[in-house]
Structure 1
Amino acid sequence: MTVLLRPYLTSDFEVLRNWFSDEASVVQWAGQDMRFPLDPAQFAQMQQETEGAAPGRWMCSGLVGGTVAAHAQVVLDWQHGVARLARVAVSPAYRGKRLAQPFLRQVIDRVFAQEAFVRLELNVYTFNTAAIAAYRRLGFVEEGVRRSSVKVGEERWDTAILALLREEYNVIRASAAGDVVVP
């Protein structure tokens, strides 16, 4: 499936807001800082962080045939060279259609195209086994679990921490290109 990566547009909000039907789905996607129902003000605040020469955040949309089918954000720590992949979502209409891999490869490529970044990390709830499997296929390594890290309703969720280092990314890209890789 061909997916086109482009910057998030304010008009994408109307599509994204319909992907989340309750508080738990919003927390699973965005963490405990986002409120349900999603409202434009929450996105406007994040979008302000995308401005400037060294923005604090990138917001990306993935398009399939002109339709917004995926969304991701990357929080950027330019000083320490660490980017955090966050708020990754695939439209319910495109789940199970192998869209996440090509979409996330483009996001990862964009991060490591910036020489400032040596690490790309993410947090994912441990029950989200499909997402964890997708991240591992992309080369992410699990570094640990924060147990009982968030409360949603009466449940407590654990958070896995995964990361991909620039050196690992370079090996993966060289292998994909068919280049010889010497460890």
Structure 2
Amino acid sequence: MGVYVSPVVRGRKIGKALLFEFLERARELKDLEQIQLSVTTVSSAAYALYHSLGFQEYGLERRALRNNNTYLDEHLMVLFLQTIR
């Protein structure tokens, strides 16, 4: 799954609303314990959004993506939905 908000409507908190609703529904799934994602290191707005929703960085994947001759690193992030007992 990917999240993309068109540049024309960015800044209207559409992405945050979409992700918030997704996370609310995910929390209703009893056996779902965590959600993992990756975001390129150049996507600072997306990183900040995920962080504001509770995601924590647990690693960095160097040269995760290649676009023409440019390599992009990715932050690896996780959100723990339920406390392990």
Structure-1-length-normalised TM-score: 0.43
Segments of 5+ residues of structure 1 without an aligned counterpart are 1-85, 169-183
CA distance in 1, matches of 2:35, 2:52: 15
Residue-by-residue CA offset, 1:4-49 (whole Å, 9 max, x unaligned): xxxxxxxxxxxxxxxxxxxxxxxxxxxxxxxxxxxxxxxxxxxxxx
Matched, 1:162 2:72: no
Match of 2:6 in 1: 91
Aligned length: 83
- Tell me the percent identity: 28
- In the TM superposition, residue 139 of structure 1 has moved relative to its aligned partner by 0.5
- The residue identity in structure 2 corresponding to 1:160 is H
**Which structure is larger by alpha-carbon Rg, 1 or 2?**
1
Q: Which residue of 1 aligns with 2:44?
A: 129
Deviation at residue 99 of structure 1 after TM alignment? 1.7
Mapping of residues 79-118 of structure 1, within 5 Å: 86-118=1-33
The equivalences for 1:26-45 within 5 A come to none
Q: CA deviation at 1:94?
A: 1.3
Give the match's secondary structure for 2:54: coil
The higher relative CO (CA closer than 8 Å, separation ≥ 6) is in: 2
Q: Which has the higher helix share?
A: 1
AA at the equivalent of 1:100 = G
Shift of 1:102: 1.5
Pairwise CA RMSD:
1.3
